[in-house]
Amino acid sequence: MSKLISGYWWAWREVEAGKKSAQTLRKFYPDADLFFNVDYEGDVEGYTKVGEELGATVTRNRFQVGYCGNFRDRDIGYEHWTKEKAVEWLRGVYEACNKTDSKYIMLFEEDDFVLKPISILNEEFSMAIHPTAPSPVRMRPNAIPNQFKEYAESVGGVGDSPGYASGGGTIFNRTQFIDSYERALDLYTKHFDEFCKTSKIYGWQDFLFQYVMQLAGYKIIQNPRLCEHWEVPNFEGFEIITGLKQPELVQL
């Protein structure tokens, strides 16, 4: 029988946090496969040791992908990833998908943790993203430009979705992502430079991840038991917490 869920980490240098993040998934899903894909300039040595301890697969990006772009007062030096960086990020997920038989995979960053059994896994879905419309406390719909919706529909995909929010904490159907990558990657990259001029989100991870699946015709839903720590500092009752910079608050 295939596994229900496994985990994929977009890893950097917070090795101990990343390790604990993985341990929280294994706490509830002990047969989960673990994949740490470390950015090129990340702590590959540290994650290799964690991989040996946890029985995880550790890989490395072929070049530095880095943060997606300038955000508020964070000056990265560019507004969005290049097409090459976007494709490299997606490639890492795709290759992990081909190394497991898990039905679902959860995307993690190093500050994302599983708190309880994940109830949405009792449903059938393609991709479950952060709730933003509404979020746990307010409406912040993260609207997708009409041009992107219309393009998805023009190629037989799904234009409508509850905004974009497919960062860490997102859970997706593994075989459907493989199908999306193989059928829709070229559709995504075809107008990359033009669409980035419309909105920089076209070159941002938390949009492009779900958009590739939308282009392939898969529906996006929200996971109401997923929250971000900055928005819900008291996260009692939630099943997944993201953006938690104090991993000691999570019990193993």
pLDDT in tens, 72-117: 889 999 999 999 999 999 999 999 999 999 999 999 999 999 999 9
Is 185 in contact with 87 (CB distance < 8 Å)? Answer: yes
Say what percent of the chain tops pLDDT 70: 100
How many angstroms separate the Cα of 82 from the Cα of each of 189, 203, 211, 247? 10, 7, 16, 32
pLDDT of residue 2: 87
pLDDT of residue 54: 98
Reply yes or no on whether the pLDDT at 190 is more than 80. Answer: yes
Q: For all residues of the chain together, what is the average pLDDT?
A: 97
Structural domain span for residue 27: 5-249
Task: Read off the CATH number of the domain in which 194 is found.
Answer: 3.90.550
Is 179 in contact with 213 (CB distance < 8 Å)? Answer: no
Domain total in the chain? 1
pLDDT, tens only, 191-220: 999 999 999 999 999 999 999 999 999 999
d(CA 102, CA 48): 22
Residue whose pair of structure tokens reads 């879905």 in the numeric block: 125
pLDDT of residue 43: 98
pLDDT, tens only, 126-160: 999 999 999 998 898 899 999 999 999 999 999 99
